[in-house]
Amino acid sequence: MEQTITQEKSKQRDHHILKVLFEKETADFINGKRMLLFILLMALITVTGLYAAVSGLSDAIEGGSSSADFLFLKLFTVSANSIPSYNSLMALMGPFIGIFMGFDAINSERTEGTLNRLVSQPLYRDNIIIGKFLAGIFITTVMVFSSGLLIAAAGILATGIIPTGAEAMRLMIYLCFCVIYIGFWLAVAILFSTVCRHAATSALACIAVWLFCAIFVSLLAGILADAFYPVGGNDMESLMNEMKNYYCAQNINRLSPYYLFGEASATLLNPSVRSVNAVTMTQLSGALVSTLSVGQSVLLVWPHLTALAALMLVAFAVSYVSFMRQEIRAR
């Protein structure tokens, strides 16, 4: 009985310490000068995406018979005058939010000597890195939902389009997807901050990973797919390899979080997308022209969401283990 009471008190104490560290990390970030940079970055993404949506919405309405449906969601997908859409900007610039938030989470405190003071306190070491990660996720959630809801409100005022319940649900799921996507890059940034001694080194390593995922994975996918399943000729083998070439390149591309997010967000924000894979003429034969419900679209992108969440947790788990195994000496 006494042992059970002691364990309960220990758990309550750990939760209290984690809450205090979470509040400390959140307050430090909000009161820091870096917060202004994130506000400017999110404001740039929001204003640019809204301008592109309002400017190109009339063209989207005239684009086809089904384009008059789900106009509210087009606020996040329409681009105009070479200005990318909000979704494209989030896929491209979102990783920088996570990277800049966590690239110096550990090594800066180690350099300044504050990490030694934290470790010397009567608390478990894992509460430090967990508190930093949770604070980053919380700030990311607030910023992403504020940006998305601001675009929705401004779009309603500018166009008079009232969203339906299905459209509002799709938007909420999409914003949650954005949080997980940025959270993955936050976990990667914390990982490099734990492994690298200097903040500049960890920032460069994170940017290198982002460049590889955003640019070079697609190039490697095309090269490897052409090497394994060559196409381009008129012989029967080349014709048979076309579908294999496409699937090979697609599977390699799906190793990149950038591609996973882009494919999933396009499916969520466009109910007319009925498949994330290639559709043959045999499958189209006899199919009815219709849009998918919210649940059916979520089923299509559920593997993408699971993969992104798993990548985020794996990156954080590696940084967690690395941080727990490191020796922190007082100066």
Helix (H, G, I), strand (E, B) or coil at 83: strand
Are residues 273 and 298 in contact, defined by beta-carbon separation less than 8 angstroms? no
Tokens describing residue 140: 């990311």
> What pLDDT does residue 68 have?
47
According to the model, what pLDDT value does residue 284 have?
47
Question: Residue 26, Cα to own-chain centre: how many angstroms?
Answer: 20
Predicted pLDDT of residue 72: 85
The pLDDT of residue 146: 92
Mean per-residue pLDDT pooled into runs of 10, the chain (331 residues): 58 74 86 83 85 73 53 84 86 90 84 73 80 92 92 83 88 94 94 89 92 91 86 67 84 91 90 69 51 86 92 94 76 46
Domain boundaries, the chain: 2-325
pLDDT at 45: 86
Enumerate residues 6+ apart whose C-beta is below 8 A from 249: 221, 222, 224, 225
3-state secondary structure 112-138: HCHHHHHHHCCCCCHHHHHHHHHHHHH
Answer whether 187's CB lies under 8 Å from 133's CB.
yes
Do residues 92 and 176 touch, judged by C-beta distance below 8 A? no
Q: 103 — phi, psi (to 5°)?
A: -70, -20
Report helix, strand or coil for 80.
strand
